[in-house]
Chain A
Amino acid sequence: MPKVLMKGNEAMAEAAIMAGCRHYFGYPITPQTEVAAYMAKRMPKIDGGVFLQAESEIAAINMVIGVASTGKRVMTSSSSPGISLKSEGLSYLAGCDLPALVVNVQRGGPGLGGIQPSQSDYFQATRGGGHGDYHMIVLAPSSIQEMVSLTVKGFDLADKYRMTSMILADGTMGQMMEPVSLDVGEVKTYEKPWALTGTKCERKPNIVNSLFLKPDELEIFNNERYKKYAEICKTEAMHEEYRMEDAEICIVAFGIAARVAQNAIDEARARGIKVGMIRPITVWPFPKEALAKAADKVKAFIAVELNMGQMIEDVELAIRCRKPVLFCGRSGGMIPTTEDIAVKIAEAAQIGG
């Protein structure tokens, strides 16, 4: 299939359509508005396609709950402040065990913050997002091509585990353009015997609900959910390694931060410093095993993030604080430069092995 030139936001929208998503509900917010704009153009041209601009983010996520309960693939997207508005709905999706795809093209915060790129919703995304004991599968693309493949993967995992998948992108990933192939391969579909599709008086009614009148019943559901999460942590964590073979320093970075880090690694290698990178592709589940293994070999880690230091806590947990973890971050819409990272690499190189 020939390549096309796409913005990250458009690529996620098109990939969702290719994954069989026919229902999109959203509300505009910079820097993710092109997802909605693209869906508005494409969905009316597709058989059964629905694009609906809701009256608010809260309305949009509740529309997602409605469609998800019928077993259809459904998606919404927003940026940081809008995701906070959706967080009640995210919790309800989890409480009802419903599959859905939610995109967060992060911008600087807290509050209204700004429209420039950020990764400061890491805690919010990886710890669930709303109230209650739950997780979402969180995918962090670092190229437009990966935005396509992870959108398809996100729908697949959501259906497979009956839970929400989130694409955790940032403003730069949403806005930048790269050539992509839209060949997504075969799209898997799942039986959904739990879905509300009408009984036709032939079966017992299905119930989709997150309210429990008896605490012991609620606990059983929570325990079942956490068994599922343990299985996901074991089998679904994804990461990519870059120049780790002989690395003495390991950078950990996801999304756009990993792109900058890769340049910094090449420059440091040219100066004779052995640096590599582990790039989490899923940030929940976090690729703990890969980091624990790396901790046996390297003398220090550097977490590079577009925030004040969030993923660094997962790095320290994964390696049980066995090695020092330095932090290189910018916030408020700023992106760490290769020079910022080079300073931290030099600092890490001074640490005795």
Chain B
Amino acid sequence: MDRKAVKRVTVFAGHYGSGKTNIAVNYALEQKEHFDRVAIADLDIVNPYFRSKDATDVLNEKGVRLISSPFANTNVDTPALPAEAYALVHDRECRAVIDVGGDDRGALALGRYAPDIKAEDDYEALLVINMYRPLTANARDCAEIMHEIENSASIPFTGIVNNSNLGSATTAEDVLESIEYANEVSRLTGLPVKYTCVREGLYEALKDRIENLKPIRLYVRQSFDRRRNEDA
């Protein structure tokens, strides 16, 4: 990793269910290998289950600071954000990874921090896309959702992360088939495809066939279903 090329703030946003949370957690852990201080913020005010707070143990163990609603994963169904989330924009010595809630409604929470992020101008805002989600299966719909999110979050995107997957059933072929789709979203939006994500088990088979491929470990998962988790 070229430390200088890495922006201080990295935002992951997209259609809900596109896989933002696992990508953000993986990215934060990767950053921690290169920088002293890394924080990840769970700004998801929409999704009640399967959140970055589920990865608390591994984040604590690796020394990544987790900023999350004190109510996440509880029964308090309140879209609350913690005051310490301001550290993301005010503490410029700390790398910040921001996991934004799904769609334009989820992205609304980011708007609160957007003016500071834009003023500092050291950020990357990545649109996470998944061709196998029906409402973003077509590149045009995906571009439409991108504009809705941008309008709501008040931050322009700077790149795309292709995370096309079918959960634990994803095959190497499924990922290969998504490359053309990611390129089409790129053409429509004018944003570069920064990288493609695959679960760890598929990385070896694909690393020579896809440019900028990143293996993803699933930290946030549906833990009641043990066998599925082992597959993943």
B227 at the A interface (CB under 8 A) = yes
A residues near B105, Cβ cutoff 8 Å = 37
- B225, A259: Cβ atoms closer than 8 Å: yes
- B75's partner among A42, A114, A176 (CB-CB below 8 A) is A114
Is the CB of A38 closer than 8 A to any CB of chain B?
A: yes
Q: Does B4 contact A (CB under 8 A)?
A: no
Chain B residues whose CB sits within 8 angstroms of the CB of A175 once the complex forms: 47-50
CA gap between A116 and B133 in the complex, in Å: 24
- Tell me which of A177, A259, A263 has the highest count of chain B C-beta atoms within 10 A of its own C-beta: A177
Provide 12 A-B residue pairs closer than 8 Å at the C-beta atoms, listed in order of the A residue. A4-B133, A5-B167, A10-B17, A30-B77, A113-B75, A114-B74, A114-B75, A116-B48, A175-B47, A175-B50, A263-B225, A333-B75
Instruction: Give the total of A residues in contact with B, Cβ under 8 Å.
Output: 35
Report yes or no: B75 in contact with A179, Cβ–Cβ below 8 A: no
Instruction: Judge if A256 is at the interface, Cβ distance under 8 Å.
Output: yes
* Minimum CB distance partner of A3 in chain B: B166
Measured CB to CB, the closest approach of chain A to B101, in angstroms, equals 12
A108 touches B167 (CB 8 A): no
Does any Cβ of B come within 8 Å of A195's Cβ? no
- Contact present for A4 and B132 (CB under 8 Å): yes
A41 on the interface (CB 8 Å rule)? yes
Cβ distance A80 to chain B, nearest Cβ, rounded Å = 12
The verdict on A14 contacting B48 (CB below 8 Å), with A114-B75, A179-B167, A260-B224 known, is no
Taking CB atoms, residues of chain A closer than 8 Å to B222 are 172, 176-177
Main secondary structure of the interface of A (DSSP, over half): mixed
Q: Does B3 count as interface, using CB distance less than 8 angstroms?
A: no
Do A7 and B17 form a contact, CB below 8 Å, given A179-B166, A256-B224?
A: yes
Interface residues of B (CB under 8 A from A): 16-17, 47-50, 74-75, 77, 103, 105, 130, 132-135, 137, 165-167, 169, 222, 224-227
Which residues of A sit under 8 angstroms from B134, Cβ to Cβ? 4, 6, 10, 14, 182
Residues of chain A lying within 8 A (CB to CB) of residue B16: 34
A142 CB, nearest partner CB in chain B, Å: 11
CB distance from B6 to the nearest CB of A (A): 30
Decide yes or no whether A115 CB sits under 8 A from chain B: yes
How far, in angstroms, from A113 to B76 measured CA to CA in the complex? 10
**Contact in complex: B75, A5 (CB < 8 Å):** no
Taking CB atoms, residues of chain A closer than 8 Å to B225 are 259-260, 263
Per a CB cutoff under 8 Å, which of B17, B47, B48, B226 touches A5? B17
Chain A residue contacts of B132, Cβ below 8 A: 3-5, 179
* Contact indicator per residue, chain A 1-40, by CB within 8 Å of chain B (1) or not (0): 0011111001000100000000000000011001001100
Query: Are A3 and B169 in contact, CB atoms less than 8 angstroms apart?
Result: yes
CB pair A115–B167 under 8 Å, yes or no, is no
> Is A88 an interface residue, CB under 8 A from the partner?
no
Q: Are A115 and B75 in contact (CB under 8 A)?
A: yes
Instruction: Kindly provide the distance from the CB of B142 to the nearest chain A CB, expressed in whole angstroms.
Output: 13
Chain A, 83-116, contact with B by CB distance < 8 Å: what is the 0/1 string?
0000000000000000000000000100001111
CB neighbours of A41 from chain B (8 A): 135
Whether, in the assembled complex, A158 has its beta carbon less than 8 Å from a beta carbon of chain B, the answer is: no
In whole angstroms, how far apart are the Cα atoms of A176 and B134 in the complex? Answer: 15
- Listed residue (A4, A10, A338) with the most chain B CB atoms within 10 angstroms of its CB: A4
Contacts of B167 in A (CB 8 A): 5, 177-179
The answer for the CA separation of A94 and B103 in the assembled complex, in Å, is 38
In whole angstroms, what is the CA distance A182 to B134 when docked? 10
